[in-house]
Structure 1
Amino acid sequence: MDINQTTESYLLNAIQNKRLSHTYMFEGDTLETLRRYGMFFALNIFGDTPRNQSLLVEGNHPDFYYLHTDENSIKKEAVGELMHVMNNKPTESEYKVYIIEAFDKLTPQAENSLLKFLEEPPEKTIAILLTIDKSNILPTIHSRAQHVHIKGQSSDRLKELEYLSEADLQTLDVLSLNAQHIKDTGENFTKLRSAAAEFSSKWINGHSLVLLDIKPMLDLCAERRDYSLLLQLIDGYVRQALHSKLKLDIFEPFKEGVKVDNIIGVNHLTNMLDEIEQANKMIQFNVHPMLAFEGMVIISKG
């Protein structure tokens, strides 16, 4: 398995030192990578033996339950079945382990039902919750989980997005954008990326009409999280401009390059990054996106 060594060591140490928590939340930007980490952790909890490997691969391990769905939500009935199975004592191993893939898909009823189970879990039972969008998960569930942040592997991030252009894929990979979110936007990602690059170029170079570009750009957003995606893209463009100014070529999310006038200095670009961060905080606090983006531009001009 292609596992990050630091995370691997953390998980293995928890097993070896017998300091396992009842609940782990693996969070990241790519479900495929999270799935691999979850299976890696489960295997090592059971014991990395050929028999356990075989049982897990075949989906026949009696002490393991994997809950996932291709539907838009995971309902209370599915969680009820999981809890029924997990209430039995382990038969093959010291522990019982269950993984819920895309935990953010749980309906409110399912989440509340599972919360009671997490509050008083059966002895020797370990939950591994996988999520690429933790924002709507109940705070009480967050508080009961050990959080493990896992950056998606490049190959996993790009696997289901081969319909994108090479330039789009480079932006996606360098900025570590949420692959599932990009997949949900479909072909609209190309438009968002192009609009962000055009806006950023005008903003960096002090174009007098840059404010007029904000509304058409925001109109491309189908849902609120797209505003944060736009800010990630703008942040990436400005950072690439900063790297270019500093003669550093190691950061290049926009393959076609960035346009920066010679008179633009490093301090100006650094201040722009600060304003992008402030705009993102405003978005998180449900400020109207037009106000957040306009404020970002106006304040940066001084």
Structure 2
Amino acid sequence: MINTWNELKEIQPLVCQMLSNSLAKKRVAHAYLFEGERGTGKKEASILLAKSLYCEQLDENNQPCNHCANCRRISSGNHPDVHLIEPDGLSIKKDQIHLLQDEFSKKSVESERKVYIIEAAEKMTVQAANSLLKFLEEPLSETTAILITEQSQRILPTIVSRCQMITFQPLSSEQIKNRLVEEGVDIQTAAIASHLTNHFEEARAISFDDWFAQAQRKVLKLYEVLNQNYMKGLLYLQEEWLDHFKDKEQIDRGLDLLLLIYKDLLYIQLDQKDSMVFQNMKLELEKSALHHSQRMLATYMEAILEAKRRLMSNTNPQLVMEQLVLNLQEGSSFV
């Protein structure tokens, strides 16, 4: 969770600089468009900005205290002058924007400033978007709008033109790993999850998923039997793999994990051991890497990528896995 500008700076330095400068110069825009991939801190930044506008104990660097009544109410979604609009079902409807306009037309009992945050702004219906446009064209004094989106191209150009666009960059694997470790995830799981997705929330969900913890062990076991013989690989598929990886999404995740193992072998070959994901298996993988050439490791990885493509093209999952085991075993015989 991002609670301070310093924490935001660690993952979005440019965003932090732009917003901090606006606060310092008291030039907060009347409308912002926070755009970027899921999990890049857009909503957290919008809440942080709102706190900085209302905090009762703001320091000289515009850092909110997170303890005063206003900060606590904003955190809990109960501040009367800070409104969050989310999709009602699949979309944000015209009535939701009208209710917001009605609310903002009332005089505040606490301050003149009002903030509204529209999450998933690209999901506004045409009618809702047109209503919002009128609202943006005639902004009330001391009003700040923050639109949050992963797909800015789906928002009316006329709305975009009236907002200051701030782009949130995708998080690096290292940033995601460090944030996961801060939340109590062990460093090995954090490293793996951070290489499977660049969305922090998804990485966190993966890290605390019991199914995923078991999946790691089963993929490592598959790698071990693949280094033995073809029949053991097929037997393992029947007895354990297909019982745990039941649908295409789960099998695809398993293939991603298997791909990471072969990438680690390649990192060892290239003397880039610090880039390895499975650091807890470093010694075992170093021994295994001695038996593979870089050319064959590239062949293995292409076989896994081809299996992922076939899986998504509605090929029978069991056939995909059996063919992959065969391809990897054939590859081993030519090392």
Instruction: Report whether the alignment pairs 1:65 with 2:83.
Output: yes
Equivalent residue number for residue 198 of structure 1: 221
Which of 68, 75, 100 is matched with 1:86 structurally?
Answer: 100
Equivalent residue number for residue 236 of structure 1: 260
Q: Would the alpha carbon gap of residues 175 and 261 (structure 1) be closer, same or farther in structure 2, given more than 3 Å must change? A: same
Q: Over alpha carbons, which structure has the higher Rg?
A: 2
Which of 31, 43, 47 is matched with 1:39 structurally?
Answer: 47
For residues 112-159 of structure 1, what are the alpha-carbon distances to aligned partners after superposition, in whole Å with 9 as ceiling and x for unaligned?
776753565341643225xxxx8xx9x957x99987454364454246
* 1:194 Cα offset (Å): 0.7
Instruction: Report whether the alignment pairs 1:24 with 2:35.
Output: yes
Instruction: Report whether the alignment pairs 1:50 with 2:58.
Output: yes
Q: Would the alpha carbon gap of residues 8 and 261 (structure 1) be closer, same or farther in structure 2, given more than 3 Å must change? A: closer
SS at match of 1:24: strand
Alpha-carbon contact 1:63-1:96 (below 8 Å) kept: yes
**Normalization by structure 2: what TM-score?**
0.59
Instruction: Report whether the alignment pairs 1:172 with 2:172.
Output: no
Alpha-carbon contact 1:172-1:253 (below 8 Å) kept: no
Which of 271, 276, 283 is matched with 2:304 structurally?
Answer: 276
Unaligned segments of structure 1, at least 5 residues: 69-73, 104-110
**Normalization by structure 1: what TM-score?**
0.64
For residues 152-185 of structure 1, what are the alpha-carbon distances to aligned partners after superposition, in whole Å with 9 as ceiling and x for unaligned?
64454246665xx66545533565683344267x
Cα root mean square deviation, aligned = 4.8
Unaligned segments of structure 2, at least 5 residues: 140-144
Q: Quick one: distance in 2 between partners of 1:183 and 1:283? A: 24
Which of 3, 8, 12 is matched with 2:13 structurally?
Answer: 8
Q: Would the alpha carbon gap of residues 179 and 115 (structure 1) be closer, same or farther in structure 2, given more than 3 Å must change? A: farther
Matched positions, count:
274
Which of 219, 222, 237 is matched with 1:214 structurally?
Answer: 237
Identity of aligned residues (%): 14
* 1:295 Cα offset (Å): 4.2
Alpha-carbon contact 1:175-1:253 (below 8 Å) kept: no
Higher relative contact order structure (alpha carbons within 8 Å, sequence separation ≥ 6): 1
Alpha-carbon contact 1:64-1:97 (below 8 Å) kept: yes
Q: Would the alpha carbon gap of residues 290 and 256 (structure 1) be closer, same or farther in structure 2, given more than 3 Å must change? A: same
SS at match of 2:230: coil
